Structure 1
Amino acid sequence: MNHLTRLTGAALLLALTAAGCSGKATGGASQDGVKTGPGVTKDKITVSALTDLTGPYAALGKGVTQAQKLYYDQVNNAGGICGRKVELVVRDHGYDVQKALAAYSEVAPRSAALPQVIGSPITVALRQRVEADKLLTIPQAWAHTLLGSKYVQITGTTYDVDMVNAVAFLTGEKGIKSGDKVGHLRLEGDYGQSSLTGARHAAQKAGLTLVEQQVKPTDADMTAQVGAFRRAGVKAVLVSVSPKQAASLVGVSAAGGLNVPFVASNSAFAQQLLATPVGPVMEKNYYIVTAAAPFSMDLPGLKKLAGEYQMAYKGQPLDSAVLSGYSTAAVVGEALRKACAGKDLTREGIVNAHRSGKSPDLGLGSAPEDFTRWDVPAARASYVVRPDRKAVGGTSLVQKATESDLVRDYRPPAGG
């Protein structure tokens, strides 16, 4: 075969492949009369997770992924969805944007939805491609800057909303008053910037002075930041960093005599920290603001999920990652069921089905979420919990889900 023949053959193959992909993208009708698209065959629906199993949020990624596997196993054991089994494909990006982009390129063409994408920077990098592919995507990231896309569903509260509710908790329950200084330790990037937006708004409304400190994902020692907070005389600290960085913050503060309440975003705590030397310190004055109810609450749905998860994954931490993973898998599951009922399992059909209503009631204590709008947070009420080694799931309830007075009229400024 000469060079020209090889080129001609390659061009023909490329044309045929493109035509085949185009046919899949536009969808067709299956034997059961349901329109199908990428990721959907006559007997299987494929969904994919882009997670972090080896990077700074490996603890979160493991819990979320295992909970999602549990959910889809239960779905399949009950007969599947639309007469099809659901397959969860998992790829580890290690919180590396380039690895995430490569993983997306691999799994997206054969996926009907993405029930998990860990990381704000990962989601930002993928957003244009997700929108072009019309792929329902659920990030494990809660920056308000991720709002605004029909295809990207931010579940629960966003970081800025949680920080507004955190300041309301400090002023309402911890004696912080107008004129006080409050520290804010934040990670650079969307996570920290979103948290800062809420913190600045709430501090201004409450008459507080915000003392800001920013760190990079690679920073491990918070000594300099604690020193800055001590010199400023802060009466409390808001925390928007990784769990390991939060542990350093609390440990260094205890050693240096900075005995103030710490109120953290949900991404700034992992149950594994309770087994470290900083665990007892966290139990005393560390609080987490989150959209998820603690497993220690007396709710039948939580008890059922706890038992099922512990049976499937003996000895594994039972924490908010499990709740988040299970509930977001269920969000996609509900969208698939509605799309099936509408006889349209194309990507657009799945997204439209999802955007037609509210979150499924799983009995897990989460506030109802409105999925019909994508320019505002799905929920605005936050729980306050605290680390507790004796509690199921490692946290106990401090304050039930509350939409504070500070957050009711809060709207993030345009563009961030």
Structure 2
Amino acid sequence: MNRTRSATALAAIATLALLGTACSTKAAEEEGKAGSDGVKTGPGVTDDTITLGALTDLTGPYATLGESIVNAQQMWADQINDDGGICGRQIRIEVEDHGYDVQKSVAAYANLSPDVLAMPQVIGSPVVDALIDDIERDQILTFPQAWSASLLGRDAVQVLGTTYDLDMMRAVDFLVSARGIKEGDAIGHVYFEGEYGANAVQGSKHAAGQHGLTVVEQKIKATDTDLTAQVTALRSEGVKAVLISAGPAQTASLVGVAAASGFQVPVVTSAPGFAPQLLDTPAAPALESMLHIVTAIPSVSVDLPAVKKMVADYEKAYPGALVDSGVLSGYNASVLLGESLKAACDAKDLTRAGLVEAHRSRDQVDVGLGAPQNFSDASMPSATGSYVIKPAKGETGGTEPVEDAAEPQGAAAYLEAKDAG
């Protein structure tokens, strides 16, 4: 993320920070009041309502993802409310659109944070990075739709599933076990500058070292949408496969340019690098033949009862809407947060601190929507196994399963070394 800002922008952010401090003071004063049912409450909780917040992207580069997540989480809230709510309270979700703009997200957080208990959605590593100190200070349990390892280590911030480095380690393992990459080969890695790309390439280089491979790096900006130069450079280096940690537009360009030039090598991305809308573009045949995706959640078309029910419910609630990975990711986050809310209710403590404590007390959580989660150690990913899926135009969500969740080679030692460092 570019941290250079004008003096005016810095002044605006400083003002918002002061407002946030005032809001957190007010929240602290309200924390711990007992409701009529004997449950301690605080900001975002009344005797009949639990208010949650979402900082999303509805107008920026991840607008389709944001819409899917918002819809899925509202569907979850409606289902919970129809079933009597949680702790005798109805769930309400307040949504703020930041358009993937960090300055807008700071303003949106200042507006939203005084009146919510938790946030089941914050889209974007740069956004979470800008807000993480405030989130931790305010003890607002937050589930980012971002998977950078730099977001670990905060009690109030829960990265769900694997991080980008683990995903790329899994990707390298997959290339070796299933795509013919062998010791001595070179692989390319195209990645966004910033936390997302930096964390991803850390994983690919570690795994490459384990397998005796060489990584040829190509760093790009989020505004780079024509990857002809990067494909040309990687081809000249003789790479046998390419990893890409960027957005859907960059993945489509890389795969499309490679295929058109006869550079038919395996390509692997992580969840943010693919959107099923790409299957309606000229790049679709190349994507289906060359691309795989490593992800913390399974394909939407997977044969899991809870996922199949979610798909059916979503198609009924939003007729004609695409059931993409954002739907599953958003719904999964909501269900997991709901389980933590229930645990906090059982402990008679629906304060922010009480919810964080209840959440961190849970070490085996399986809601049937993917890999089991362990929330007990904030410094560690909640899961270490990534799925491998691939584009498939005829399937629900535009993907199909390839391999079940598996932990990358040497993951435990890798994580232990990072934690010790």
Q: Aligned pair 1:141/2:164, yes or no?
A: no
- How far the C-alpha of 1:247 sits from its partner, in A, is 0.8
Contact 1:165–1:407 under 8 Å retained in 2 = no
Indicate if the aligned counterparts of 1:359 and 1:368 stay in contact, CA closer than 8 A: yes
240-249 or 404-413: bigger deviation: 404-413
Contact 2:268 2:291 in 1 (8 A): yes
Alignment match, 1:239:
244
Query: What is the aligned residue count?
Result: 400
**CA–CA distance in structure 1, aligned partners of residues 24 and 39 of structure 2:** 22
Instruction: Give SS of 2:414's match.
Output: coil
Q: 1:306 aligns with which of 301, 306, 311?
A: 311
Residue 268 to residue 415, structure 1, CA distance change in 2 (3 Å): farther
More off after superposition, 355-364 vs 175-184: 355-364
Cα pair 2:301 2:396 within 8 Å, conserved: yes
Question: What corresponds to 1:7 in structure 2?
Answer: none
**Distance apart, 1:337 and its partner CA:** 1.0
> 1:10 matched to which residue of 2?
none
- The residue number in structure 2 matching 1:334 is 339
Q: Match of 1:363?
A: 368
Q: Which residue of 2 is the match for residue 286 of structure 1?
A: 291
Q: Secondary structure at the match of 1:405?
A: coil
The letter for the 2-side match of 1:174 is R
Instruction: Check the 8 A contact 2:125/2:147 in 1, yes or no.
Output: yes
Identity of aligned residues (%): 51
CA deviation profile, 1:347-391 (whole Å, cap 9, x unmatched): 000111111113643222x11110000111111111110000111
How big is the shift at 1:413? 3.8
Distance 1:246 1:83 in 2: 46
Trace 1:5-404 onto structure 2 (pairs within 5 A): 21=26, 24-358=29-363, 360-364=365-369, 366-404=370-408
User: Which letter maps to 1:28?
Assistant: K
| 1:151 Cα deviation after fit | 0.6
Q: Which amino acid aligns with 2:177?
A: G
Partner Cα distance (2:24, 2:216) in 1: 57
Deviation at 1:27, TM superposition (A): 2.6
Residue 111 of structure 2 aligns with an amino acid whose one-letter code is E
For 1:247 and 1:24, the matched residues in 2 are separated by 51
**Larger Rg, first or second structure (1 or 2):** 1
Matching residue's letter, 2:186: K
Given that 2:43 and 2:352 are in contact with CA atoms closer than 8 Å, whether structure 1 keeps it comes out as: yes
Q: Contact between 1:272 and 1:317, CA under 8 Å: does it hold in 2? A: no
Structure 2 Cα separation of the partners of residues 94 and 26 of structure 1: 31
Code of the residue aligned with 1:343 in structure 2: it is K
- Name the aligned partner's letter for residue 226 of structure 2: D
Deviation at 1:43, TM superposition (A): 1.1
Q: Matched residues in 1 for 2:296 and 2:361: separation? A: 22
Aligned Cα root-mean-square deviation (Å): 1.8
TM-score (ref. length: structure 2): 0.92
Alpha-carbon spacing, 1:73–1:296, altered in 2? closer, same or farther (3 Å): same
After superposition, the Cα gap between the structure-2 partners of 1:387 and 1:23, relative to the gap in structure 1 and judged at 3 Å, is closer
Amino acid at match of 1:375: S
Match of 2:5 in 1: none
How far has the Cα of 1:224 moved from its partner? 1.1
**1:414, CA displacement in angstroms?**
6.2
Q: For residues 8-64 of structure 1, what are the alpha-carbon distances to aligned partners after superposition, in whole Å with 9 as ceiling and x for unaligned?
A: xxxxxx9xx989925644330111111100000111110000001111111211111
Bigger shift: 258-267 or 395-404? 395-404
Question: Are residues 235 and 406 of structure 1, via their aligned partners in 2, closer, same or farther at CA, if it must alter by over 3 Å?
Answer: farther
> 2:166 touches 2:408 (CA, 8 Å); kept in 1?
no
Contact conserved, 1:330 with 1:360, CA < 8 A, in 2?
no
Matched letter for residue 93 of structure 2: L
Deviation at 1:297, TM superposition (A): 1.9
What residue number does 1:9 align with? none
